[in-house]
A and B are shown apart, each in its own frame.
Chain A
């Protein structure tokens, strides 16, 4: 069985915003990847930024980030 871990899941209003987040995180060396938004969250955009939950403070405070639709912590 696949092992689950606590993840921070950030959702966006547009695909463009998700792309902006990926660009920003890559440039700043922040962890995570783009993935389909889990069904447990209400997502405006089908794409979410998923990272270990420990990265949440850094991700939420990164300057220049696009507007988030929601920020969640889930066992994924």
Chain B
């Protein structure tokens, strides 16, 4: 199989990640539950992962890196823990349902919600931001990179706007962490939500949120923490505040190993390689008659190429790619309904090719040839 669905998950992991998970399964107890060698081993592994993530993502303190099971849980924690019916929020058309659905739920409870609109290329007009401000605007909640087109948002610019107007700035880095430059402090981000199993190359079931100093999030979950057991309420100190229940120590051990691998390989080198594969594919398909490519390829972006072939349904195209060419891509709506509306692909969906470190130029050539062949039929 030629795996070109890295935006869904990086299926192929560095061998050190597999080894770390295996070793963890054989040696880790439960972090913070008791003080035996097993529990201490887990606590040390998890703390080391916090330290690495804090350094990698520009979070000022390891204790403000809070683990969740994925970025959806992280985003729900941030959105429901910071916002309420009395607030107004600005988001964008690029968002995934992991951002949209929590916001829509709050909107149904009375919260104001406006979107920075995207054009047919998937770009937003930042000049519209002041028009969206209201007296009760509390936050900007947005993605770093569209999971459908790969287009990025200008986080430093949005962060500066948020700071200027006293807004919280919540960012979904699901499609960018591990590949694109990202520094939550430099960009003025209040809460950075990440997943461990995409660009960060860790196991599924890992993710979290980095919380800037001064940002106080109401816990989404309450329960066992291993500390302050006689209190009726959730402890206040981060990260325990947002980490009720047993952490995924085994997965976090894998994520920690993945972070070592990214450090040793070099994030810029990873981003460069993925971008080269994306550009190779884009150059190969953009002028094929009948092929429509979506997104803006003139600026920094996530390594994604979304396209359609004539009026063929995206799921049919993906099925042909899989069954006849052994190429794994994603089709359909990609959990990004507003982005499809902006692109005009609500009915057709889109075929998404997303590239990763383990993709070779030869694989990309085969994918280009497959698209050409299908388009010629």
Contact = CB atoms under 8 A, between A and B. Distances in A.
Interface of A: 13-20, 22-23, 34-36, 44-47, 66-67
Nearest to A16: B63
B240 interface: yes
30 contacts: A13-B235, A13-B237, A14-B63, A14-B227, A14-B237, A16-B43, A16-B63, A16-B240, A17-B237, A19-B43, A19-B44, A19-B46, A19-B47, A20-B47, A20-B62, A20-B63, A23-B47, A35-B35, A36-B34, A36-B35, A44-B235, A46-B34, A46-B35, A46-B226, A46-B227, A46-B229, A47-B32, A47-B35, A47-B40, A47-B43
Closest 10 pairs between A and B when the two form their complex, measured CB to CB: A19-B47, A15-B32, A13-B237, A45-B227, A36-B35, A14-B240, A44-B228, A14-B237, A16-B63, A47-B35
A24 B95 CA distance: 41
Contacts of B40: 34, 47
Contacts of B46: 16, 19
A17 B63 CA distance: 7
Interface in B22-72: 31-32, 34-35, 40, 43-44, 46-47, 50-51, 62-63
B84 interface: no
B281 to A, nearest CB: 42
A41 to B, nearest CB: 13
Contacts of A17: 63, 237
A10 to B, nearest CB: 14
A34 B44 CA distance: 11
B46 to A, nearest CB: 8
Contacts of A35: 35
B287 to A, nearest CB: 53
B290 interface: no
Interface of B: 31-32, 34-35, 40, 43-44, 46-47, 50-51, 62-63, 226-229, 235, 237-240
Contacts of A46: 32, 34-35, 226-227, 229
Given A16-B47, A47-B43, 18 more contacts: A13-B227, A13-B237, A13-B240, A14-B63, A14-B238, A14-B240, A15-B31, A15-B32, A15-B43, A16-B46, A19-B44, A20-B63, A23-B47, A35-B35, A44-B235, A45-B228, A46-B34, A46-B229
Contacts of A13: 227-228, 235, 237, 240
Contacts of B240: 13-16
A20 B61 CA distance: 11
B227 A15 contact: yes
A36 B240 CA distance: 18
Nearest to A45: B227
Contact of A16 (B34, B35, B50, B228): B50
A66 B63 contact: yes
A15 B33 CA distance: 9
A20 B94 CA distance: 38
B347 to A, nearest CB: 49
A15 B240 CA distance: 8
A13 B31 CA distance: 15
A23 to B, nearest CB: 7
